Amino acid sequence: MNNGNGDREEGIFVVVSAPSGTGKTSIYRELLRMFPDLRFSVSYTTRLPRPGEVDGRDYRFVSQERFRQGIAEGEFVEWAENYGHYYGTSRRTMEEFRREGFDLVVDVEPRGAKALKAQYGEGVYVFVLPPSIDELRRRLHGRGCESEEIIARRLEKALDEIREVLWYDYVIFNDRLDSAVERLKSIYLAEKSRRDRQGRRVREFVQEAGRG
């Protein structure tokens, strides 16, 4: 983002992970709405669009062949296969937005988050949890569009992902959407206010104070 002197500090990225059915998408979409300069890393996927999803906004929908080509060419900083479909985060998107000074929200599962941390060694890592495991079960069943077998697989995967929560920087319990949004907003603003994220501007301010 602009540092006040026409220059741009390198952007930060906020990595958000959560089990399926936790409501993380609703939370970070509200954050994106609040901060127009905040960008979203649109993931690539080989699955078909769901009703209401828009190519380029929710995902970039590509063929299996196109995705495998991207893997071979190192196009994805992280990728995974879930339920027969590929998902991946574009390396170019990550690096271009950060270089241009835009902060970036990245929606990935814990394995992908670890890959980002290993690659960049920085970022703000946030894990969203449901109020309880029982509530998670209820939400998964409440979708009403998947078989019991798929729901059981999603729950098993969700429990595996929850076990990864201990290495994240922040945890948000999604008891209420408005409260969860406010917590994510607070995390984002606090991270942006850190001295080391405003290095150039702080140094120039101190130098000017020294001359005064």
* Sign of the alpha-carbon torsion through 5, 8, 9, 12: positive
Q: Classify the phi-psi angles of 139: left when phi > 0, otherwise alpha if psi is within -120 to 50, otherwise beta.
A: alpha
Specify the pLDDT at position 5. Answer: 47
Q: How far apart are CA 49 and CA 51, in angstroms?
A: 7
Q: What is the pLDDT of residue 99?
A: 86
pLDDT along the chain (212 residues), means of 10: 54 94 95 96 96 95 98 97 94 91 95 94 94 90 74 91 97 97 98 84 82 72
* pLDDT value, residue 29: 97
- Tell me if residue 208 falls in helix, strand or coil: helix
Structural domains in the chain, sorted by start: 13-41+102-211 (3.40.50.300)
Strand partners, 135: none
pLDDT at 66: 98
What's residue 6's pLDDT? 46
Phi-psi region of 144 (alpha: psi -120 to 50; beta: other; left: phi over 0): left
